[in-house]
Amino acid sequence: MTILPIRIYGEPVLHEVAEPVGEITEEIRTLVSDMYETMDLAPGVGLAGPQVGVNKRLFTYSWEDEDGTKLRGVAIDPELWISPAEPESLEELDYDEEEGCLSVPGERYTLRRAEHALLRARDIDGKPYELEASGWFARILQHEFDHLNGILYVDRLGLTSWKQAFKVMKKKGWNTPGQSWLPGVDNLEG
C-alpha cells in the first residue's frame, strides 16, 4: 500500500466536479486501499478521490458511532439525499458543529449541516448499497460528497468565518495550485 499526498485548498482538482468511476478495475481497487491507509494515517474520518488528486466520484469513510458500531466503507459513484438543515439563528453555531478537512489541514470552523442523510452507492465489489445516517456520520457523508462536486467545507462558511479561513490560508501560502502534504511525513495537522 502507498500513502498518498493530500491536496490542499487551491489545487484545481479540488474545485472540479469529479467524473464517474464506472467499471471497478484493479487500479480503482488499489486506489481505494491506498485511500484507506492514507485516511487512517492522516488521521481522518473520510477521504475523497479529488483530495488525493484523482478526479473520480468515490470516497472512503471510517466512523465509530456512540454505541461502538464501526462504520467503514467506500462509496463509489454515490448519490446523497439530505434532510433540510435547521436554519442558523443569530446566535453562534454550537461547538459540536465544528468541522475540519484534510485539504485545509489543522483548521476547524463551525458549519451547519443537515442532521440526516441517505447515501446510495456501490461498494468495492460493485454491489449497490444504501445507508441512512444521522448526526456526525451524516456530516461526514455530506462533507465527502461535497468534495465530489468541487466544494470544500470552507466554501460553505458564513461570511465572518469564511473571511477568517481565507486569511489563514493566505498566510499559510495556500489557495494556490501545487500544495499538498503527506501524512506521516508532514506535520500540518497541528
89-93, 122-126, 177-181: lowest mean pLDDT where?
89-93
DSSP per residue, 86-124: PPP-SSPPPGGGEEEETTEEEEEEE----SEEEEEEE-T
> Annotated catalytic residue: which of 11, 37, 107, 144?
144
Q: Residue 13 contacts by C-beta under 8 Å, 6 or more apart in sequence?
A: 7, 50, 53, 54, 55
d(CA 36, CA 32): 6
**CA neighbor of 169 nearest in space, from 182, 154, 158:** 154
d(CA 4, CA 51): 9
Helix (H) or strand (E) holding 76: strand 70-82
22-26, 63-67, 108-112, 126-130: lowest mean pLDDT where?
63-67
What pLDDT does 186 receive?
87
What pLDDT does 96 receive?
65
Q: Any idea what the Cα angle at residue 105 is, between residues 116 and 135, rounded to 5°?
A: 15
d(CA 48, CA 63): 15
Q: Is 116 labelled as part of a ligand binding site?
A: no
Reported as half-sphere exposure (CB side, CA atoms, 13 A), residue 133 has a value of 29
* Dihedral (Cα; 85, 43, 78, 161), 10-degree rounding: 30
Q: Is 101 labelled as part of a ligand binding site?
A: yes
Greater confidence, 131 or 1? Answer: 131
What pLDDT does 190 receive?
43
What pLDDT does 90 receive?
40
* pLDDT tens digits, 18-76: 999 999 999 999 999 999 999 999 999 999 999 999 999 999 999 998 888 899 999 99
Q: Is 189 a catalytic residue?
A: no
Contact 82, 127 (CB under 8 A): no
What pLDDT does 89 receive?
47
Q: Is 147 labelled as part of a ligand binding site?
A: yes
71-80, 90-99, 150-159, 164-173: lowest mean pLDDT where?
90-99
Work out the percent of the chain whose per-residue pLDDT is above 90. 82
